[in-house]
Structures are given as C-alpha cells and as structure tokens.
C-alpha cells in the first residue's frame, strides 16, 4: 500500500504500517484516555494517556493477529501472501496472486476494503460513543 513502510516480518509475511495508522493511534489513544477519565476518575493525567495508548496498541495487535490468521489460511490454501498493512480502518492482507476458485476467495475471508474496515468501524463506533459520554473536556 502506498504511503506505508515495513516494520517487520512474521512467518515470512511483511508487516507494514500506513501513515494513517499513526493518526488512528493518536486519535484513539486520546479518545480511550477520555473514556478512562470517566471510568477511573482521579488518576494522574499522564496515566490516562498511557492507559489509552496501551489499550489502543493492544487493539491494533488484535487486528494484526486477525490479519495474520487470514494470511495463514490463504497460504494453507495455496495462495502466496506478500504482506499485511495496518491502516486507520484496520488491516489489509495482500496476496501476490488471485484465487482461481471463488470458494477459496470466500473462505479466505474479507479481502475487500469495505469488509476490511469492519474492525475499524467497530472501533470508531466505540470511540465515538465514549467521546459522547465524556465530552470535549480534555485530559
């Protein structure tokens, strides 16, 4: 994906991060931190940032594991997977070849952008809900 850079390799699959992922990391860290101010009042303000960051980072690790699962299933079905890229709405597994049988593509999972964005949509919905509960008061 253009605008991304490699950060590592897992099971022979390149892991990349798109620049929009950094925006998501910052925004989600702030929003989750806001949520923690309501759930756990009285902490030092820097702890809300740390907790928000850890929760957000853990969420993206889950997205990465999800994409790795797709990629390993695709590989087990004979498809070559070149990379996984995390971006603001989730992750994308990149195949180097298209499956010949539609069934393989179906069982390979959601490879289109709209389907890939489902985890991101859930995250955004949770963040927006938390933001509405907290308001723009800042931490």
Least distance from Zn ion to the Cβ atom of residue 100, Å: 21
CA distances from 125 to 12, 13, 107, 114, 116 (A): 33, 30, 27, 16, 15
Of residues 18 and 33, the one with the C-beta less far from Zn ion: 18
Residue window 53-92: x/- pattern of binding to Zn ion, with contact defined by CB under 5 A:
----------------------------------------
Which residue's CB is nearer to Zn ion, number 99 or number 109? 109
Q: Which is nearer to Zn ion, 107 or 133 (CB)?
A: 107
Task: Based on the shown chain and the rule CB under 5 A, indicate whether residue 110 belongs to the binding site for Zn ion.
Answer: yes
Residue 112 DSSP SS3: coil
List beta partners, residue 8.
15
Residue 97 a catalytic site member: no
Cβ neighbours for 81, distance < 8 A, ≥ 6 positions apart: 13, 71, 72, 74, 75, 93, 94, 95, 96
Q: Among 14, 67, 97, 98, which one carries the catalytic annotation?
A: 67
Q: Report the 10 Å Cβ neighbour count for 21.
A: 21
Q: By CB under 5 A, is residue 111 in contact with Zn ion?
A: no
Catalytic center residues: 67
Binding residues (CB under 5 A) for Zn ion: these are 109-110
């Amino acid at each position: 994906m253009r605008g991304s850079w490699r950060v590592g390799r897992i099971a022979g699959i390149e892991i990349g991060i798109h620049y929009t992922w950094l925006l998501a990391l910052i925004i989600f860290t702030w929003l989750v931190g806001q949520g923690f101010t309501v759930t756990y009042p009285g902490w030092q303000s820097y702890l809300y940032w740390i907790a928000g960051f850890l929760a957000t980072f853990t969420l993206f690790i889950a997205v990465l594991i999800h994409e790795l699962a797709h990629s390993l299933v695709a590989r087990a079905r004979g498809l070559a997977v070149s990379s996984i890229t995390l971006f603001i709405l989730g992750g994308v597994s990149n195949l180097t070849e298209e499956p010949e049988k539609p069934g393989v593509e179906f069982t390979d999972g959601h490879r289109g952008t709209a389907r890939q964005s489902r985890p991101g949509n859930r995250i955004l919905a949770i963040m927006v809900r938390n933001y509405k509960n907290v308001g723009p008061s800042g931490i």
